[in-house]
Structure 1
């Protein structure tokens, strides 16, 4: 699956979910001020599952590979810092979940935040999360959606899917294990303000 096709699937699913611009604005406006925002990514996940269940096992592997490749592109220190602010901390596993959520925002947003992670402060979901002191864009389930779709459509266990996916990836290049971009101290507010001024102001109040 080439990047155009992959991002086309993401765009189609996003358009039918609460991440669509008008739907997101209406959802946020209708929520009580203290209500969590978890339904937004859940709606994307549910829509993605419906789409994945139409795919053959080979197509699921191709989608999964494209998703992995997109997530590796987002393995970027400033984005990890953004996840650290939004999540009130961000382990290696949590950063994978955060990158899943970034992919759900679509190709344009992923390109924007790779260029400048602080532009994430302009996304309506992030703005709403800051106002509610809520955590958004962390979605572990999106990483496992192809395996669950495989299980649902074939009746075979998820372990068979993982073995199939490993065979699919055999002989393909391994991406770098270290994040790209500048590394800096996530626990120093002044440093974070220098790199991510808007997100830091949103999510890290002065002592």
Structure 2
């Protein structure tokens, strides 16, 4: 599956109703369930590649700051939510996680404490495959690879947070660097 085709499914789901990640994931699942099994599997394989490309320590740090902590599963769920925001937001966040400070929802979360997660987006292809074929989606071709812990910085150190994610640090209560 081509990248544009992968994101077209998400774009169509984003345009089809409420903008919360769960509703978008439900529409992605419904759209995929109408397709042939090989196309659903191709979408799932592309999802694996998109998630692999976003396995970045700085993005994990942003998720940790925004959600008030972030386990392995929490980082996956955060990226599920990020997928539901669409390609431009996802690409910008992977390239520069501090760009998440521009999103109105993230700015609001700095005040409300709302957390961003969507395992439903990550499970859309598997759910669609079950609906379409009554069988499980074939397993991923490649295992999930996590960022090297040597690349991590201390997500709890205010100085490191300000140095890596200054705009998010300012939003979430860390004073800016002098």
TM-score, scaled to structure 2 = 0.87
Distance of aligned partners of 1:179 and 1:99 in 2 relative to their CA distance in 1, 3 Å threshold: farther
Q: Give the number of equivalent residue pairs.
A: 175
Q: Residues 89-147 of structure 1: CA distance to partner in whole angstroms, max 9, x if unpaired?
A: 101111111111112212211221122110101012211222211112x1112221222
Counterpart-to-counterpart distance in 1, 2:148 and 2:86: 21
The within-5 A match list for 1:1-207 is: 1-19=1-19, 40-136=20-116, 138-154=117-133, 156=134, 160-162=135-137, 165-166=138-139, 169=141, 176-178=145-147, 182-204=151-173
Kept in 1: contact 2:37–2:132 (CA 8 A): no
Q: Distance in 2 between matches of 1:112 and 1:145?
A: 23
Residues 56, 94 of structure 2: 8 Å contact kept: yes
By how many angstroms is 1:185 displaced?
Answer: 0.7
CA apart distance, 1:179? 5.1
Runs ≥4 in structure 1, deviation > 3 angstroms? 173-177, 179-182
SS of 2:35's partner is coil
- Return the offset for 1:178: 2.8
Q: Which runs of 5+ in 2 are unaligned?
A: none
Give the superposed CA RMSD.
2.2
Moved more, 182-191 or 68-77: 182-191
Distance in 1 between residues matched to 2:149 and 2:47, nearest whole Å: 18
Give, in angstroms, the shift of residue 153 of structure 1: 2.7
Q: CA offset at residue 2 of structure 1?
A: 1.3
**Structure 1 residue 182: deviation in Å?**
4.8
Is the partner of 2:136 in helix, strand or coil? helix
How far off is 1:193 after superposition? Answer: 1.0
